Structure 1
């Protein structure tokens, strides 16, 4: 009986989150839309799951059809993550498939929007950039800024072009963040409901594939070669791949600090303090690269042993 009321509460939460998508709160609530679906699909059988979602979908569709479209969009990754939660799959597998489902949906929507609804992503991005940078241009005009300090229409065009080229990076990062947020909240909630969900490895055990070093080297060579080649395709690969690889090395460097803190018995706050320079000072990723390239952790363990 308690679980029945809990699932009803999650159906109500799902309804409220859907209704919030056309409000200013959507910036936050969009990251939570997968959560109710994943929880309900994990806890309920298929028939009960449909019975819980059908009234929600009917209500939002009667209010405005766009709500039903948004509900359908966030449904698939929720089903995927819920399916793997049912299987008691490792956390990394849940994240991997959930992120893949979200990313594929985004790409599919772009394709459908471009093919059938005349969506011009370039014009849309350009409009957003112009609206965002308009105050900067106005400051340059009214404030009497001169030279390189003034923001000009040429700067806006360059930013718009670079933003357009980084759309793949934005899609990957947003997919990653949505699935991570969902898992971070779903695991304790499901555990409280009596369903054991595997956790991610502890931060000190994080170890990314060593092949990332070779990918980084290849992308770096491509970046050097593309400077004079004028190849827009190669440059787009570099612009998207380089920050993704740097984020991976940041994560690896952070994991190394957690490992070092554990081995040296330092205060637990040390890795969190170390995260500040790792994020703000990009050359710090060298720690992550060295941690992957050389057996630093084994040498630290031997010294402590």
Structure 2
């Protein structure tokens, strides 16, 4: 009876994997499908034998191929690799930080590999195509009179350069969000099946090393002396590093809110609500910087 139950759930997860994989190729719907498409594959790998997983995955990929053609296989293999890595680490009961780090690196590596393959095999430059699309959209807005008269070709090129330089930051942030969502959902679903995998420390215990404050300070100081209008390696590094550090300190600030809520016995909804302005107004990440640099938590500690 238990084997039958596991078999039925595996079929359901395979069906979900198929639906999500097909949805990834559909404009609009893919925005909802991409963040969770790895979940069923990780569940299958963690709960089945490798032979069973291979059979389920092969069927899913074949059916997806018949529905959408080669594009489904491209997306399938893209998300399958990080799903395998995460599932393998779950089976080994690896720490949550290890799983997420490996998952992020795998997804990021897949993004970079796709860019290289498109350029090498199809002679398509992702960055070049993106720049052309931005230029076309700006030209259309300019023709419709929706841009100010001061908007020149130089402004357009500066904007295109800024967007292209920010691609690494966007890819890292996207990889992180996909893996974090996958980890959170997979861990909850596996726990319902009696498979326990390590989770992160409670948010109230999050604390970055103090060295991160020094890194952030150095990046801000260097940014003052680097010409943002020049397309240089250092400028590209700063364009991506500073937003990443701000994101890290934003997460640190959320940890502080959960710590205060725990000490004051507030509802867990309070720190969640307080976290919303952090993402809407990035300079508030300074709260996280102060939390790491100074022992401000002591003032909220219960005596």
Choose from 110, 114, 118 the match for 2:119: 114
Aligned counterpart, 1:35 = 39
Shift in Å at residue 152 of structure 1?
Answer: 5.0
Change (3 A) 1:202 1:140: same
Structure 1, gaps ≥5 residues long: none
Aligned counterpart, 1:192 = 192
Kindly report the root-mean-square deviation, in angstroms, between the aligned alpha carbons of the 2 structures.
Answer: 2.1
Shift in Å at residue 12 of structure 1?
Answer: 1.0
In the aligned structure 2, how far is the partner of 1:106 from the partner of 1:276? 29
SS of the residue corresponding to residue 12 of structure 1 reads helix
2:158 touches 2:229 (CA, 8 Å); kept in 1? no
In the aligned structure 2, how far is the partner of 1:51 from the partner of 1:211? 47
Any idea what the Cα deviations from partners look like across 1:62-112, whole Å, max 9, x if unmatched? 341221121111111000111111122222221111111111111122222
1:137 touches 1:153 (CA, 8 Å); kept in 2? no
1:6 aligns with 2:14: no
TM-score by length of 2: 0.91
TM-score by length of 1: 0.90
In the aligned structure 2, how far is the partner of 1:59 from the partner of 1:228? 49
Any idea what the Cα deviations from partners look like across 1:242-274, whole Å, max 9, x if unmatched? 000011111111111111121122343331232
1:204 aligns with 2:207: no
In the aligned structure 1, how far is the partner of 2:148 from the partner of 2:35? 42
In the aligned structure 1, how far is the partner of 2:155 from the partner of 2:135? 10
1:77 touches 1:102 (CA, 8 Å); kept in 2? yes
In the aligned structure 2, how far is the partner of 1:177 from the partner of 1:286? 22
Aligned counterpart, 2:240 = 240
In the aligned structure 2, how far is the partner of 1:228 from the partner of 1:76? 37
Higher mean alpha-carbon deviation, 194-203 vs 130-139, is at 130-139
In the aligned structure 2, how far is the partner of 1:146 from the partner of 1:116? 41
SS of the residue corresponding to residue 249 of structure 1 reads helix
Shift in Å at residue 233 of structure 1?
Answer: 1.0
SS of the residue corresponding to residue 194 of structure 1 reads coil
Any idea what the Cα deviations from partners look like across 1:165-204, whole Å, max 9, x if unmatched? 1110111011001101111211111111221122222211
Alignment of 1:1-305 (within 5 A): 1-24=4-27, 25-63=29-67, 64-133=69-138, 136-140=141-145, 146-148=148-150, 152-227=152-227, 230=230, 232-301=232-301, 304-305=302-303
Shift in Å at residue 123 of structure 1?
Answer: 2.1
Corresponding residue pairs, total: 298
Ranges of 4+ aligned residues in structure 1 off by more than 6 Å: none
